[in-house]
Amino acid sequence: MSSSVLCFGELLLRLGAPSQQLLLQTPSLDVHVGGAEANVGVALACLGHDVAMAGVVADNALGSAALGELRRHGVDTRHVRRSAGRMGLYFMTAGAGLRPGEVVYDRAESAFAAAPADSYEWPTLLRGAQWLHLSGISPALGPQAAQATLAAARAACDMGIKVSFDGNFRPRLWERWGGDAQAILRDLFACAHIVFADHRDIGVVLGGEFSQGDAQARVDAAAAMAFAAFPQLQYMACTQRTTHNASRHALGAMLLGRDGTRALASVRELDGIVDRIGGGDAFAAGVLHGLMEGFDSATTIRFGLAAGCLKHSIPGDFCPVGVADVMALMDEETFDVRR
């Protein structure tokens, strides 16, 4: 039972140092297309859902290449406009061992960030959609992008479309233009059916700190506060990550419901990580797939965590795996070659 999803956000080009080299250690860069919302869209399309992307790209060869990569993975790009301006970029140095990864953004005044908020016809763009996926990165890019994201969320609410919102708090982006992150994010949370957030995100949006003794207790307390503050909110999901070094992490996950359900996915050890960028987006897509397919909470969070774990083994921002791949990781403990 596929669902129709609209994702709104900025398409980025990622320029990465080859293998695990330092940036420009050699004069070549690997290029990938990404962006938080597009990453979720590609993952959902590969899981069998009808996905469309809305936004703006530069009206040049870079924008065309980014759109072509989305189409290659089954995402409808008819709602992405082309405009004069530049593509947002980011430069990636992968971590290795005791050296952490590093990201350098170059996305100020991109075609997406500069697009007027009133240039989107949301009732038209949302027609036929059952879900709208947004993240906290888009409103952090500037006043026009913030107003456009708010307008999208409010239009979806008015049309009875479920809103999925990933907190993705990026303080440096907010500080660059002096945006009121707390007020804007609070308005977006108020429209959401599900938020991908933990106690730190809730602290930003609602204020206060959570000092409970362990991470799960802090998430429990934050979820209770969020459900009390936002009557429309039905679910809150998050991962818990322990970083041993750049190449070895441990990852667990939680899904909490307004009805009191509390589902945990057992921690998995991720050894020999290839690329962690987009792991949270793959997790979000996996959880959304579970909700769309009517899985129970326990299966939904296990599916989401398995999708997020798989992304750590795949270069680039996207997680182009199918349902069978995710289910195999959920059900099998063997890592022999499949023949």
Q: Identify the CATH number of the domain in which residue 210 sits.
A: 3.40.1190.20
* 255 is a domain residue: yes
Confidence grade of residue 334 (pLDDT, cut at 50, 70, 90): low
* 107 is a domain residue: yes
Euclidean distance between CA atoms 77 and 60, whole angstroms: 15
Q: What is the pTM of this model?
A: 0.95
Domain housing 75: 4-331
For the cut 70, the answer to whether the pLDDT of residue 2 exceeds it is no
* 18 is a domain residue: yes
Q: Beta partners for 311?
A: none
* 303 is a domain residue: yes
Number of folded domains in the chain?
1
Residue in this structure with the two tokens 């308005």, named with its chain if needed: 187
* 256 is a domain residue: yes
Please give, one letter per residue, the 3-state secondary structure of 14-56.
Answer: EEECCCCCCCCCCCCCEEEEECHHHHHHHHHHHCCCEEEEEEE
For the cut 80, the answer to whether the pLDDT of residue 333 exceeds it is no
- Closest alpha carbon to 263 in 302, 234, 308: 302
Specify whether the CB–CB gap between 43 and 318 falls below 8 A.
yes
Residue in this structure with the two tokens 């697009």, named with its chain if needed: 115
pLDDT for 124-159, tens place per residue?
999 999 999 999 999 999 999 999 999 999 999 999
